């Protein structure tokens, strides 16, 4: 199975989005790969180094493939992850913009 997905997070498939992508892919039994939609550069989605090495930026399309019993579920979760914006600046529950100096 495969799916073409546009990368929505502003950071592209780098840093936090890539880490979450790899962690999610590792949660499935299926063999998952990712690469540019228009290229032959597919790599294992289980490797942070390989995924960040693709240098995929915001707005680019990637091809995600999955083979195994839970392939459809893997594609659904990974597509949702890449289709959701990530707040890079303030990515925590703490709403402490006011600072403690006063």
C-alpha R_g of the chain: 15
Beta-sheet strands, E only, within the chain? 2-6, 31-36, 43-44, 61-67
Active-site annotation holds for 14: yes
Of 3, 14, 36, 58, the active-site residue reads 14
**Positions marked active-site:** 14
């Amino acid at each position: 199975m495969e799916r073409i997905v546009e990368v929505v997070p502003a950071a592209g498939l780098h840093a936090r989005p890539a880490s979450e992508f790899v962690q999610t892919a590792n949660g499935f039994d299926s063999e998952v790969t990712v690469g540019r939609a228009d290229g032959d550069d597919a790599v294992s989605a289980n490797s942070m180094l390989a995924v960040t090495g693709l240098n995929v930026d915001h707005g680019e399309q990637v091809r995600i493939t999955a083979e195994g019993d839970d392939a459809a579920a893997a594609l659904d979760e990974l597509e949702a992850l890449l289709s959701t914006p990530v707040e890079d600046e303030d990515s925590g529950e703490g709403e402490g913009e006011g600072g403690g100096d006063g």
